[in-house]
Structure 1
């Protein structure tokens, strides 16, 4: 027995029903990101959601591409630190995935730009550390 569409989902808003029926990107502040009622069709809260997704993506990339263990660290301590960072990074990654599944174009762009900016920060810091180490090695070699 087929029921009319309005009786299948009586408690859902039009936005959620639209997103369930049509899985394609849409633009605008009427998104549901991670939690029901957030950002609640407010431009300020939508901007906050975009900023949150950007920072979350940036943090994920920094955690994924930054060496956190110093040389001569105990293997047990090093493993625990790496496992803890991995736990946080995977949790952030799943939150990002769920946010992008809101199919809001602004949220998607914020996630992609956050990943790119985080990668840039992590790699530029790594290059700066590498250059500093090369300068130290060359100064020691020149004085010997």
Structure 2
């Protein structure tokens, strides 16, 4: 018997045994509501929960962009200021990692809404900046 024909033994503490009812991880993009996003059993092949997951991932991407544009308090160098900035950064990074883990489900719907959330958030943050800068320049312009 050739070694190529022999089944590979499963290590004793392996989670890859054939007796477990674990699903294999998808390794290529696919469409559909049959996906696991962040937590086992969610959205649980339910169309309504899948749509909720899409909104949730969109909001996460949007929130990452909005938090990345939050004003920094640079004038004060106190401990409270540094801690608040570090806390805001930690929250932003946690949300960014949740978006990344959601996209790792390889579901095209999740991928599209994650990118759309980042895009809409970036657009809204940068749309406000030029308008605010133009308002400030008009009030400071002595020719007006």
Indicate whether the TM-score tops 0.5: yes
Q: Tell me the residue number matched to 2:17.
A: 8
1:92 aligns with 2:98: no
2:52 to 26, 48, 54: 48
Equivalent in the alignment of 1:116? 119
Residue 79 of structure 1, CA deviation: 2.6
CA separation in 2, counterparts of 1:81 and 1:127?
27
2:77 paired residue number? 75
- Whether the 8 Å contact between 1:66 and 1:122 is mirrored in structure 2 is no
SS at match of 1:120: helix
- Between the aligned partners of 2:93 and 2:139, the Cα distance in structure 1 is 36
Pair member with larger Rg: 2
Aligned to 1:8, what secondary structure does the other structure show?
A: coil
Report the number of matched residues: 132
CA distance in 2, matches of 1:120, 1:24: 29
- TM-score with structure 1 length normalisation? 0.81
Instruction: Report Cα offsets for 1:51-86 as digits up to 9, x if no partner.
Output: 0000000010111123243x7x42224433321210
RMSD value over aligned CA atoms? Answer: 2.2
Aligned pair in 2 of structure 1 residues 114, 9: CA closer, same or farther (>3 Å)?
Answer: farther
Q: Does 1:33 align with 2:33?
A: no
Structure with bigger helix share is 1
The runs of 5 or more residues in structure 1 that have no matched partner are: none
